Amino acid sequence: MKLNAKELRDIDEQEVKDKLKNIKRRPIFFILENIYDTYNIGGLFRLADGLAIEKMYLCGEMEIPPNSRIKKASIGTYKVVPWVYKKTAREAIEELKEANPDTSVLAVEQDKKSVSYTEADYTAPVALILGNETSGVTRETLDLADSIVEIPMWGINKSLNVIVSAAIVSYWAVNKIK
C-alpha cells in the first residue's frame, strides 16, 4: 500500500491502523530531543515513515501532533508512524534499553568524542538521538549514548538541518544494520 500526500492527509487514523499491520518495521528508533521547528518535526515523521522505523520518541521542549504545522509538514505521516511523547530523552533511552538491553543508542552530534557516522557500529536495534536545531543534543543525553556520530563538515557552517542529518545517518544505518 502506497499513499500519496492527499491520501495521507485525508486518511482516518482508525482506518489506517489495520493497514499498518502489514508494514515490516525496521529496528530503528528516532529520539527527538527539544526539536524547536514544527516543520522539522513534521519532516522527521515523513522520514520515519519512509524508512518504516519502529518508533519515534518526541522528548522535552517540543510540540507534538496534532499541532497544525506538524500535521501539514508531515502530510499525515504522524498518523502512521508509531510515536510517543516522553518528558526527557533519558526516559526514552531507559524504555528502549529495558525492552532490549542490546539497543545501540547513537547520538548524531558534533562532539570531541564523536566518530564519523560511516565508522559507527549499527548493530540492531539502533536508536538515533537527534537534537535541537541551535544547541544540538544536550550534554546529559550525550553522556547516555553508547556512541556519538557526526557528519563531516568542510565549509564554515558547523551542521546540517536536523532532517538532512537524520536522513544521511538513518539511511546509512539501514544499509549497515547487522
pLDDT score of 56: 98
Instruction: Give the range of the structural domain holding residue 82, as residue numbers without chain letter.
Output: 21-176
Cis status, amide bond into 65, omega within 30 of 0: no
Q: Is residue 15 part of a domain?
A: no
Whole-number Å distance between alpha carbons of 16 and 42: 18
Write down the pTM of the prediction: 0.93
Question: Residue 177 above 90 pLDDT?
Answer: no
Q: Domains in the chain: how many in total? A: 1
Q: Is residue 171 part of a domain?
A: yes
Cell 547516555, residue? Answer: 144
Question: Residue 18 above 70 pLDDT?
Answer: no
Q: Is residue 4 part of a domain?
A: no
Q: Is residue 48 part of a domain?
A: yes
Q: What is the CATH number of the domain that holds 81?
A: 3.40.1280.10
Looking at residue 175, its amino acid is: N
Interval 51-65 mean pLDDT: 97
pLDDT score of 1: 67
Per-chain mean pLDDT for the chain? 92
Q: Is residue 8 part of a domain?
A: no
Looking at residue 130, its amino acid is: L
Q: Is residue 102 part of a domain?
A: yes
Q: Is residue 155 part of a domain?
A: yes
Q: Is residue 163 part of a domain?
A: yes
DSSP-derived secondary structure for 5-20: HHHHHH--HHHHHHHH
